[in-house]
């Protein structure tokens, strides 16, 4: 069991974050995910090669080098192909996503859930605001021809409470972030602003041509208080839903690969009700837990079909850029 200590919980409450070193076993937890994604990348490379978008599948290259080569030659970052969530708009019946069994088992990892239970209690819901981030080095990432910026760069400052609907404002939403490979500063690790969760919800603004979704303007907080969070694979970072955080640019020669998960007490709004979550742990009603990775995958396939049929366009957050600070 890997329940958190009183001192760890005290730091989480006081500082708005907690880094737990070595929580996940790299060989038994992370390596199966990596092996699964080798197949995902192979499928993508073969599809692009068949369509004539790349000249070779580059099957002889290591995963990171192969991903970079596929992205460069195709001229596109295929992030959605790897993600275990759907985009917030324009969902189609064939919108790509990956909801494989190794990903599901990671969401339900017992050591991870023990730590989550320490923070939010024993009735744990896997919130559907979740992503995999495969972040290539910026100097090797395709440029968006319409904006002149890289297609996948640094993530702007935001709070996770700020990128969901107001229905989740009182939800005890917990962010869980970990890297499948080491994430030193130069590879674009996360950075956080300690104690920023005490200041409530900041106004978020559209990020403009650089992309990256919503952002909290620098003038709204003391960005000089930012603390980089370099991590080894197996380390796990826990954040409150109102802890300001962003990612640095990847200036290394390697892909930064991370999981960005959310959990909340069962029954509380997820802030993105159009997407499916599931009961990951329940001490009161263990029969409500989902243990079958295929059942979880089908929840996402059914959601994709419904959203494509109904042409749901959101909104998935409350911000339209009209606030004075966004001018």
User: What tens digit of pLDDT does each residue of 197-221 get?
Assistant: 999 999 999 876 555 689 999 889 9
- Rg of the Cα trace of the chain? 19
Each residue's pLDDT tens digit, 157-176: 999 999 999 999 999 999 99
Which CATH number does 9-311 carry?
2.60.120.620
Coil, strand or helix at 254: coil
Residue 210's pLDDT is what?
Answer: 57
Residue 120's pLDDT is what?
Answer: 98
Contact at 8 Å (CB) between 266 and 282? Answer: yes
Residue 246, φ and ψ in degrees, nearest 5: -155, 180
Cis peptide before 315 (omega within 30 of 0): yes
Residue 316's pLDDT is what?
Answer: 82
Residue written as token pair 């978008």: 53
Residue 114's pLDDT is what?
Answer: 98
Each residue's pLDDT tens digit, 131-148: 999 999 999 898 888 778
Nearest to residue 108, comparing CAs of 12, 18, 176, 7?
A: 176
Residue 55 has pLDDT above 80, yes or no: yes
Q: Encoding tokens for residue 281?
A: 């742990």
CA angle 183, 300, 63 (to 5 degrees): 35
Residue 212's pLDDT is what?
Answer: 60
User: Span 36-47, mean pLDDT?
Assistant: 98
Residue written as token pair 């869980």: 176
Each residue's pLDDT tens digit, 64-99: 999 999 999 999 999 999 999 999 888 999 999 999
Residue 36's pLDDT is what?
Answer: 98
Report the share of the chain in percent with pLDDT over 70: 97
Instruction: List the domain boundaries for the chain.
Output: 9-311
Lowest mean pLDDT among 148-152, 254-258, 267-271, 274-278: 148-152
User: Span 4-13, mean pLDDT?
Assistant: 98
């Amino acid at each position: 069991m890997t329940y958190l200590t009183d001192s760890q919980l005290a730091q989480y409450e006081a500082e708005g974050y907690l880094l737990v070193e070595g929580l996940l076993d790299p060989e038994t937890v992370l390596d199966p995910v990596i092996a699964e994604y080798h197949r995902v990348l192979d499928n993508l490379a073969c599809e692009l090669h068949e369509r004539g978008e790349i000249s070779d599948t580059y099957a002889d290259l290591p995963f990171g080098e192969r991903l970079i080569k596929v992205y460069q030659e195709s001229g596109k970052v295929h992030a959605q192909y790897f993600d275990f969530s759907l985009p917030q708009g324009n969902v189609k019946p064939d919108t790509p996503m990956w909801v494989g069994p190794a990903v599901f088992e990671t969401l339900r990892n017992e050591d991870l859930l023990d730590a989550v239970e320490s923070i939010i209690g024993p009735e744990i819901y896997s919130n559907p605001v979740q992503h995999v981030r495969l972040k290539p080095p910026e100097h090797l990432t395709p440029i968006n021809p319409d904006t002149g910026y890289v297609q996948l760069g640094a993530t702007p400052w935001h709070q996770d409470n700020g990128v969901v609907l107001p229905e989740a404002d009182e939800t005890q939403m917990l962010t869980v972030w970990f890297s499948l490979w080491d994430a030193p500063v130069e590879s674009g690790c996360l950075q956080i602003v300690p104690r920023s969760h005490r200041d409530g919800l900041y106004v978020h603004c559209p990020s403009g041509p650089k992309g990256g979704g919503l952002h909290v303007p620098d003038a709204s907080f003391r960005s000089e208080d930012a603390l980089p969070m370099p991590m080894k694979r197996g380390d796990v970072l826990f954040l409150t839903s109102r802890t300001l955080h962003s990612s640095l640019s990847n200036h290394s020669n390697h892909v930064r690969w991370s999981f960005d998960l959310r959990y909340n007490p069962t029954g509380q709004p997820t802030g993105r009700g159009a997407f499916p979550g599931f009961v990951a742990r329940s001490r009161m009603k263990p029969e409500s837990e989902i243990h079958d990775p295929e059942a979880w995958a089908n929840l996402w396939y059914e959601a994709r079909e419904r959203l494509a049929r109904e042409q749901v366009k959101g909104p998935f957050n409350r911000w339209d850029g009209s606030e004075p600070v966004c001018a």
